[in-house]
Amino acid sequence: MKQLIPLCLFGFFQVMSTTAEDLEVFDMDAIRDPATLETKVLQDWQTFKGPNIATRQKLITINVGEIWPGQDYRLPVRMVVPANRKAHGFHLTGGNSPRNLERQTRPRGTNLKLLRGGVGLVMTVVQEPGSYGEIELGGAAEARFAKSLNPRYKIQYWAWPATLMRAITAAYAETKHFGKGNIAVTGSSKNGASPSMAIIHDERMTAVHATVSPIWDSPLRLCDQKAWDQHLDVGGKQRGFSGGHFGPNFNQRALNAGHTWKDLQGFARHISDQVFISRNLKALRARDVEMLFHPGTHDMVAYDMAWGGAHHPSIPVYLGANSGHGKKGHPKIERDQQNKSAFLLHHFFPDEVSEPLLTPPDMETEITENVLKVTVRFAPKSGEKSGRIWWMNDRGPDGSPQYLKELIPDQNTKEMIHDADRGVWTVKIQLDPQASSIDLFSNHRKLITYQENTYPTFISSPYTRLELR
């Protein structure tokens, strides 16, 4: 059972004759099988009497599986539970390093509150192998993927999501310390993308909070050649575009390895149902999965905000103005935002949190005599307490250097007015007569209370692009 994917799929994309139904990136029976973990105990369960709470902790390594025959993918997992009782459910994260996991965890902030409420912590490693001394493994996997387009070789598609799912299997194998309960996964970048993919496959996961990571299947992600042509120079090479199907772009490496655009389109078509939140909303909502995304307005991975806002306005997002990988944010960005803490506390302790977080509102626009009127409407009794609009003119194509570098100007933000009689938020924006398009969204605040603490939370209206002429 070391092979956590059917061996017949190793040649899948070289043949390209298998149907979409035949492509299963994960063998979930094997993923959930603790007998295949090959667990090695580095630090057995021991009690730590910290200043805020006493915990029991254990550190192990597990075999996630074989990336290709004979190449194991082993990583550490640290588990933390309250010292005086079994944990029910846990907060799972991959944004750790092997070295950091060697040390006992001293829980603080929201994690401390979770432990006090009987929720455990499970920490593993979702990082580039080179960051912990396995640079040859990472390079070999990329080379194999570029040659074959087999998703098993791409660490991003298989190894990282599988690591999170196998960590769940490892924790639930500790039956004296973990009972069944909610499992919320949070993280940023690769640690936002990996749980977003894993939660589609693993019904043990119940919530995902992901930052600067992909959400939806825009034409660029599906390798639509018309969408890509605007990013190519006269020689047919990419110009400064860093986005790709589900993260950093690999198209040119695959083309250099002998593949065609048709191959890339076939890859995207066959795998996307197993990758994108947007293609699985009905099933996720049927499972009552909770979701909140912080994609950023200027991010090199979440680079298609206008397409997502137009096609998936119901997916809950918070858009920090001018945020993204390496971005500092707009001078008036919501610096007090505590969405993740409120999201986790509400997910695990819904009866103890004052109210639910906001859900996405509707936005309506009307242009009269070069003035744009914006109206934002929430569901009745939502409890939102503020509204602020943000906009920019003539934004560059999705994923382009212009899209990423040209920020929302300091002056392009405005407080909205609450019309209590109509239950809406409104604002008027004087349009630039020279502008061909305008991008806009609004952010809205709600306070959430848990025990003695109040948490400012924010939700955004759907990111909207209007063509002006």
DSSP 333-399: S-TT--HHHHHHHHHH-TTTBSSPPP-PPEEEEEEETTEEEEEEEPPTT------EEEEEESPPPTT
pLDDT value for 230: 78
Residue 96 CA to residue 77 CA, distance in Å, equals 10
pLDDT value for 247: 83
Report CA-CA distances (Å) from 32 to 39, 65, 164.
14, 12, 11
Contact 245/157 with Cβ under 8 angstroms? no
Can you list the domains of the chain with their CATH numbers? 7-348 (3.40.50), 362-445 (2.60.40)
**Mean pLDDT for the chain?**
92
Residues 160-183: pLDDT tens digits?
999 999 999 999 999 999 999 999
Residue 35 CA to residue 164 CA, distance in Å, equals 17
C-alpha count within 13 angstroms, C-beta hemisphere, residue 247: 16
Query: Which residues lie below 8 Å from residue 389, measured CB to CB, with a gap of 6+?
Result: 374, 413, 414, 416, 427, 429, 440, 441, 442
Provide mean pLDDT across the span 120-136: 96
pLDDT value for 237: 66
Residue 329 CA to residue 407 CA, distance in Å, equals 9
The conformational region for residue 243 under phi > 0 = left, psi -120 to 50 = alpha, else beta, is beta
Residue 190 CA to residue 438 CA, distance in Å, equals 30
Lowest mean pLDDT among 7-11, 267-271, 407-411, 426-430: 7-11
pLDDT value for 326: 93
Q: Is the pLDDT of residue 231 over 80?
A: no
pLDDT value for 11: 34
> pTM for this one?
0.93
Provide mean pLDDT across the span 349-353: 96
In the block, tokens 């939700």 appear at: 459
Q: Is the pLDDT of residue 6 over 60?
A: no
pLDDT value for 238: 66
Provide mean pLDDT across the span 231-251: 77
Residue 174 CA to residue 201 CA, distance in Å, equals 22
Residues 282-334: pLDDT tens digits?
999 999 999 999 999 999 999 999 999 999 999 999 999 999 999 999 999 99
Q: Is the pLDDT of residue 463 over 60?
A: yes
Q: Is the pLDDT of residue 4 over 60?
A: no
Q: Is the dihedral of CA 326, 330, 336, 341 positive or negative?
A: negative
Q: Is the pLDDT of residue 354 over 70?
A: yes
Residues 83-97: pLDDT tens digits?
999 999 999 999 999
pLDDT value for 5: 41
Residues 396-440: pLDDT tens digits?
989 888 999 999 999 999 999 999 999 999 999 999 999 999 999
pLDDT value for 382: 96
